[in-house]
Structure 1
Amino acid sequence: MSQFTVFDVETPNRLNNRMSAIGITIIENEQIEKEFYTLVNPEAHFDPFNTMLTGISEESVRNAPSFPEVWEKIEPYMSDGLLVAHNAQFDMGVLKKCLLAYEIEWKPYARYICTVQMGRRLLPGISHKLNDLCDYYGIALDHHKADSDSRACAQILLRYLQSGADIRPFIRTCSLNR
């Protein structure tokens, strides 16, 4: 696999069915080649906890594009390469729920890998929280900021690949249908 689309989303509330930000980091030939970040107007309420955690509020997304507008820009990134996220079930779930909520047709399923699951097998006995892995590898992180989180996840994946890790056992499939 020569291209990976590493992404991270932030959400406005505990329902986790909308995103308030997305960060994407593209890896090609084992190098970070492109990055994309945007706030997203979730057209939904914000829980105080999420605002405190991410620093994103209703005010900060007031003029941000909605998910369908963002999707037009990110769909080519999301369609090329293998999707990657740290705690991928969460990010894949939010992506799926956004696609369904806005009735956006994409593809019936997406292949992805989770750097948490990889880390648990490759580095047993340590914490696999994103901030702890960043400390372990000396990676800069502004936690719960989608651009920083996606870049950090990409750098973790690169460390795993450079150590000789085989991604094939970690590839999973997410159904994007109801």
Structure 2
Amino acid sequence: MEFVSIDFETANEKRNSPCAIGIVTANENGVTDEYYSLINPMMHFSPFNKRIHGITEDDVRDAPTFAELWPTLEAYLSNKMVVAHNASFDMSVIRATLDYFDIIYPTLDYLCTANISRNVWPQLFNHKLNTVAAYHGITFEHHHALEDARVAAKILIKAFETYATAELDIFLKKCNMSKGKIYERGYVPPRSKRKKRSTRLYLK
């Protein structure tokens, strides 16, 4: 299955403040393409966010805005299966920033590798990106958008290997999950389906 893994870093607490994006295209055999860019969010950087990712106002001063980058990003994302670790954050960055620039949403399906990890490796004490990466022996520079996107792609590939399938419908059934979707007028988040409880009769 071909998919696109993404990660955003933001300048502050606002979801429409992306300051970097990493994109990795991959399939069950590995990474096939990578893209990285700084983004000028045209707003202030919070000290907290700068401590996390190390990006400053000076770094993005000559970087393109999200709107200027969008034709390139749309080519990667539109009509694709997109994954991210804690995808609710990255998808909300996409939606909030498109809303800010009054750009129509693309159509794409998406999955969260954090939720997938909870289903595939429930024994882990948490399912943060660095925890899941360490479990699989993956080393990386955390909070660098391209590195994080690359790790999320590798996690999904490991999940395919664990469940011995890269067929999406079969994989989602084994994960007991549904995919999310972004479309022109809104979005639907991915969901974990509740397992049916067995019915037992108890006799006194």
Q: Is 1:49 aligned to residue 48 of structure 2?
A: yes
Q: State the aligned residue count.
A: 176
Residue deviations 1:141-171 (CA, integer Å, cap 9, x gap): 1001000000010011100011126135341
Cα distance in 1 for partners of 2:36, 2:8 equals 10
> Quick one: which amino acid aligns to residue 77 of structure 2?
M
Output the TM-score relative to the length of structure 1. 0.92
The structural deviation recorded for 1:29 is: 5.0
Cα distance in 2 for partners of 1:158, 1:19 equals 27
Higher RCO (CA < 8 A, seq sep 6+):
1
Query: What percent of counterpart residues are identical?
Result: 36
Report the counterpart of residue 113 of structure 1 in structure 2: 111
Any unmatched runs of 5+ in structure 1?
A: none
3-state secondary structure, aligned to 2:110: strand
Matches within 5 A, 1:20-169: 20-107=19-106, 109-126=107-124, 127-164=126-163, 166-167=171-172, 169=177
RMSD across aligned positions (CA): 1.6
| Cα distance change, pair 28–80 in 1 and its aligned pair in 2 (3 A) | farther
3-state secondary structure, aligned to 1:111: strand
Contact 1:114 1:170 in 2 (8 A): no
Residue deviations 1:70-105 (CA, integer Å, cap 9, x gap): 111121111142010000000000011011101112
Residue deviations 1:109-143 (CA, integer Å, cap 9, x gap): 53200001111111113110001111100112100
| Cα distance change, pair 160–176 in 1 and its aligned pair in 2 (3 A) | same
3-state secondary structure, aligned to 1:20: strand
Cα distance in 2 for partners of 1:144, 1:40 equals 15
Residue deviations 1:46-70 (CA, integer Å, cap 9, x gap): 1000011000111100000000111
Report the counterpart of residue 173 of structure 1 in structure 2: 181
> Quick one: which amino acid aligns to residue 119 of structure 1?
S
The structural deviation recorded for 1:31 is: 2.1
The structural deviation recorded for 1:45 is: 0.9
Output the TM-score relative to the length of structure 2. 0.81
Any unmatched runs of 5+ in structure 2?
A: 166-170, 187-204
Which aligned segments of 4 or more residues in structure 1 are displaced greater than 4 angstroms? none
Cα distance in 2 for partners of 1:46, 1:173 equals 30
- Larger-gyration structure (1/2): 2
